[in-house]
Amino acid sequence: MDLPIKKKKGIKRKHILIGVGVLVVGLLSFQAFFRTNVSTLNVDIEKLSVEQVSEGIFHDYFTVTGNVEPIATIFLDAREGGRVEEKVVEEGEVLKKGDIILRLSNPDLSLSILNSESQLAEKSNFLRNTMVTMEQEKLQIKRELLNLEYDIVRKKRKYDHNKSFYANDLISKDEFLESEENYHFAKRSYELYMERQKQDSIFRSIQIMQMEDNLHNMNLNLTLVRQRQDNLNVVAPIDGQLTVLDAEIGQLIPKGGRIGQIHVLTSFKVVAQIDEHYIDKVKVGLKAILERQDQEYQLKIRKVLPDVRDGKFSVEMVFEGEMP
């Protein structure tokens, strides 16, 4: 005969597990919705500063590292090609404007100067001889004019006499007409000679002007060639320090070849690399402060180079007032 099983009364294991789960869920819900999440940081009170909040201009400062460089660098190029004969100074020396750095030689240039001088002397002699010839021709023209004037006077006198004689029937008509024609021919000859003399004078004046212009141009050419010879002495174009000199005795330097550089030391500039994030904010004229050996120096941005390389762009700043 089957016996009925009675249910046990009291707390069972599954009841304990359910209770624990409900308790965990309740704690998590409390942390999420009711507890304030606050993080704390311990700071030394001496390092805190308190200021009153106010409206004003917001100054955005950022720190960069810069290099102090000379205010300008002048490159030295050979204005005339030649062989290095002498190095007058060495790298690192401080120069004054006009100081000789190198002496070059160029035989072809010397030959060109001799040819120019020879052509100039030849042209000068030709012009001088031409002017002497023209003066002689002027004297000859004056002599011819004097003869023509005398011939006119003589033939006019004969024509006047024959005119009177012909009126009194003392000479024939042919003789009278001949004297008249001779007189008019002499006048016409004088007029033509005067016109020729005028044209010759204009032509000679033009010829002399052209020759003088040629002579002037040759003088200019000779001057320029001599200046080219002066350019064989490479000189300092400005006061500064010779930092690079790439030339040795006997070396052939081409015209326009780079041979060195000079740093201008009258002032200095600061070149800095700035992150491209600030490229729209950095403008010419902005102020900057250089900190060096616990001292501050005022700077102003003179040039912004917008070319970005490796995420940075360059600026040039100049000192305002005292320099280090």
pLDDT in tens, 40-59: 667 677 766 777 777 777 66
- pLDDT mean over 185-214: 83
pLDDT value at position 1?
A: 45
Contact 130, 171 (CB under 8 A): no
Q: Tell me the average pLDDT of the chain.
A: 82
Domain 66-106+233-319 grouped into CATH 3.30.950.10: no
Burial class (CB in 10 A: 0-12, 13-18, 19+), 197: middle
Phi, psi values for residue 3, rounded to 5°: -105, 140
Distance CA 183, CA 178 (A): 9
Pull the structure tokens for residue 276: 């491209």
pLDDT surpasses 80 at 19: no
Q: How many CB atoms lie within 10 A of CB 81?
A: 17
Q: Which segment of 10-19, 250-259, 291-300, 315-324 scores lowest on mean pLDDT?
A: 10-19
pLDDT band of residue 80 (cuts 50, 70, 90) is confident
**Mean pLDDT, to the nearest integer, of 296-310?**
88
Sign for the CA dihedral angle at 220, 224, 227, 229 comes to negative
For residues 119-146, give the mean pLDDT.
81
State the burial class of residue 13 (Cβ atoms within 10 Å of its Cβ: 0-12, 13-18, 19+): exposed
- The answer to whether 77 and 256 are in contact (CB under 8 A) is yes
Q: Please state, in angstroms and as integers, the Cα–Cα distance from residue 221 to each residue in 108, 110, 121, 209, 236, following that order.
A: 16, 14, 13, 18, 25
pLDDT at res. 31:
62
> Residue ranges of the domains in the chain?
66-106+233-319, 108-230
Portion of the chain with pLDDT greater than 90, in percent:
15
Provide the pLDDT for residue 97. Answer: 92
Q: What CA–CA distance (Å, rounded) separates 231 from 287?
A: 44
Comparing 210 with 15, the larger pLDDT belongs to: 210
Sign of CA dihedral 296, 300, 301, 302: negative
pLDDT value of residue 41:
64
Radius of gyration of the chain (CA): 53
Which two structure tokens, joined as six digits, stand for 167? 């009126």
What integer pLDDT is reported at residue 282 of this predicted model?
87
Percent of the chain with pLDDT over 70: 86
